[in-house]
Every structure is written in structure tokens, then in C-alpha cells.
Amino acid sequence: MKAKIIITPKKAVLDPQGKTVENALAHMGYQGVVGVHVGKYVEIDLAPGTDRETARVALNEAAHKFLSNPVIEDFRLEIE
Amino acid sequence: MKAKIIITPKKAVLDPQGKTVENALAHMGYQGVVGVHVGKYVEIDLAPGTDRETARVALNEAAHKFLSNPVIEDFRLEIE
């Protein structure tokens, strides 16, 4: 079982990495880009038979407490 | 239309960030974790009506050339 946490800067927060990638794509000659956001991706391998709800609660807490900075970042947790 | 590029360290490459998150989860008292991989997440907003195949080729090239380091990282491109 795998859990994925995707952490992205909030829309209102300046994203210089995203802006840089956007400019790089334009320099490459590709024009179809409206905006780019760069974030972090955390993939967690869970032991077989892990309880999905316990995992969700624990990982949600971890994402909120130390994986993301809730002032400037949003996170999304997916368990599959 | 959105494209997502997920860049993760290759399995054979040391992932100190992942190891740190794994230890932090154990310290938090959560035991169900077998492994953690930390990577980058790039979300690209594409202009409406963008050709999917052109986007795929351009973004694949970008991911290979400057978004990832192919020696130590793998990437996955999704267009939706």
C-alpha cells in the first residue's frame, strides 16, 4: 500500500521556482504554458495490512506538522 | 488542461530526505512505514486547446533536459 503527499505553494504565494520553469519552457520555444507550480512529492510505502484510516490520520498529522508549512503551502494526501 | 511531472530519486540512489521523513514518522509513534521517497512535483497549466501530443513531447524533453537529473532521478509525466 502506498501513500502520496503532494505539497504545493498556496496560490497567493510567490513561486519563484515555478516562474523559472515557466520562463525556461518559453525559452525552449514551447508556448502553451499558462502557469507552473513547483512543489514537493512524498511517497510513503506502507506495510501490508496497514489500516487505511490509521494511516490517513497519522500521515495527515505528519504532513501538517512537519512535511509542509501550512502558512505558505497546501498539501494533498492520497492513499492507494 | 494540466500536466504533472513527478521526479523521484532512482531506487538505487541514496535518499537522505526520505530517510529523514521515515525516522520522523517513527519518532511520531507511527510504525506502519516501510520506506519513504521524497521527490519534486511540477504542475503545469496548459493553455486551453493545447495539442496533447505536442505538449507531451515538449514537456518530456523539458523534464529530461532540465527538470530532472537523469543520472540519479526518474520522472513520470501525466497529462490530464
Q: Which amino acid is at B26?
A: A
Cβ within 8 Å, pair B40-A40: yes
How far does the CA of residue A42 sit from the closest CA of chain B (Å)? Answer: 5
Q: Which helix (H) or strand (E) holds B16?
A: helix B16-27
Measured between CA atoms, the residue of chain A closest to residue B19 is A44
Which residue range forms the structural domain that includes residue A64?
A: 2-27+36-79
CB-CB under 8 Å, A24 with B46? no
ipTM, two decimals, is: 0.90
Percent of chain A clearing pLDDT 70 (strictly above): 100
A62/B32 CB distance under 8 A: no
Give the model confidence (pLDDT) of A14-42 as tens digits. 999 999 999 999 999 998 899 999 999 99
Q: What is the mean pLDDT of residues B13-30?
A: 93
Q: Indicate yes or no: pTM above 0.80.
A: yes
Among the listed residues A43, A32, A39, A16, the one whose alpha carbon sits nearest the alpha carbon of residue B62: A32
Confidence of residue A61 (pLDDT cuts 50, 70, 90): very high
CB neighbour list of residue B21: distance below 8 Å, 6 or more residues apart: A42, A44, A62, A67, B36, B38
- Write b or e for each residue in B15-34: b if 16 or more Cβ atoms lie within 10 A of its Cβ, otherwise e: beebeebbebbeeeebebbe
Contact call for B7 and A41, based on CB within 8 A: yes
Q: How many domains does chain B have?
A: 1
**Chain A residue with minimum CA distance to B37:** A43
The CATH number that applies at residue B10 is 3.30.1280.10
